[in-house]
Each structure stands twice: as C-alpha cells, then as structure tokens.
C-alpha cells in the first residue's frame, strides 16, 4: 500500500485576527505495481495450476499403463489356473437308538415259504410278493397314500405302523391290507393322534 500525504495551508480571516491553518490529509492507495491482485488470490491461482498439472500427468501415466497392459495381454498365452482343494473327509454316520415306545420294523425281502416235504408246490405267494402287493394297495388309494403308514410282511403276517387322525382311518388301512391276497393276519400297531 502506498500512502500519500497532502498538506494545505489555508488562511482564515476573522474580524479580529488573521491566522493561517495547516490542513493535512493522508490518503492510502493500493500499490499500482501489483495491478490489483491480492496475495491470497495469487496463491489460489498457483495451487489450482499445480493441481491441474498433476491431474493431467496422472491421466497420461494411466493411459500409458493401460496401453502397456493391452500389449502384454496380447503377447502372453492364456494362463491356466490350478485350484487345489483339500481332500474330502469321509462322512460321519451317527446311529441313534430306536424309540422305546415302538419296536423297529423288520423288513425281510426275498424270503420264500419252505417247500413241503411231500414234494408239492409252495402253500402260497412269498413274503416279497405279498409286500409288493400291500405297498401297491396302499400307494394306489389316494386316501391311504397320504397317511404315511408303513406295512411289513413276515410269514404272511402284515404289521402296520404309523399315526393317523381317526379310528376310522386306522380301520380302513387294516381292511385294505387284509384284502390283499396272501396276507394271513394283520398286526395293527397304528396309533391315533
């Protein structure tokens, strides 16, 4: 900033006297050499120019790196990735004891009736054939198929197990199994729940 002082002498005449008064005025003017730009504005301009230059340089380096990656990828054969997996452990089998309230069903397939000693034919169909006929009877009836009742056949005796909603359904399952050819007796262990 530039200061300029201006002094004036003024003569004041009054009826009694004449006196001289000196008036001084000081005026401040900004430096004319800087052409009106403050230091803060100049610093902001310099920082902006440096940031712009850094961005341009980084962009150019990134473009060169991308070009180099493309050239390298075109020159190299494709790589094969090998992934090694750990060996699989054998499954762990946990056996739980059967519930104490109901005996576990015994299913014996392929057992045939012993031939009579007289040399005649067998007395009737074997258990596996009866088992298949009972299963077919239960599966083909839409009402019985949805109940989840199981039947096992041993020596012509069919054992029924499962749970149904009513006594009527329990009786219906027993009647259906009794009517299968080869079933000699029915042990109905179905529970009503």
9-12: list long-range contacts, CB under 8 Å, 24+ apart. none
Q: How confident is the model at residue 70 (pLDDT cuts 50, 70, 90)?
A: confident
Banded model confidence at residue 110, pLDDT cuts 50, 70, 90? low
- Is the pLDDT at 33 greater than 60, yes or no? no
Domain boundaries, the chain: 127-192
3-state secondary structure of 148: coil
Q: What is the pLDDT of residues 47-64, one digit of tens each?
A: 999 999 999 999 999 998
Which of 34-43, 89-98, 173-182 comes out lowest in average pLDDT?
Answer: 89-98
Q: Find tokens 């006196």 and name the residue.
A: 19
How far out from the chain centre does Cα 170 lie?
45
CATH of region 127-192, choose from 3.30.1340.30, 3.30.470.20, 3.40.50.720, 3.40.50.620: 3.30.1340.30
**pLDDT per residue over 125-151, tens digit each?**
689 999 999 999 999 988 888 888 999
């Amino acid at each position: 900033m530039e200061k300029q002082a201006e002094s004036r002498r003024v003569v004041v005449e009054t009826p009694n006297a004449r006196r001289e008064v000196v008036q001084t005025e000081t005026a401040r003017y900004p430096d004319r050499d800087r052409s009106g730009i403050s230091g803060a504005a100049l610093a902001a301009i310099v920082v902006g120019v440096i940031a712009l230059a850094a961005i341009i340089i980084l962009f150019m380096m990134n473009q060169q790196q991308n070009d180099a990656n493309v050239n390298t990828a075109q020159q190299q054969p494709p790589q094969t990735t090998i992934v090694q997996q750990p060996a699989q452990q054998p499954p762990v089998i946990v056996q739980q004891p059967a519930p104490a309230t109901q005996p576990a069903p015994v299913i014996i397939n392929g057992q045939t009736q012993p031939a009579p000693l007289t040399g005649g034919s067998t007395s009737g169909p074997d258990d596996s054939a009866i088992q298949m006929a009972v299963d077919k009877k239960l599966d083909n009836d839409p009402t019985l198929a949805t109940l989840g009742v199981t039947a096992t056949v041993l020596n012509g005796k069919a054992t029924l197990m499962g749970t149904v909603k009513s006594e009527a359904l329990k009786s219906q399952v027993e009647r259906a199994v009794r009517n299968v050819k080869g079933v000699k007796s029915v042990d109905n262990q179905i529970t009503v729940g």
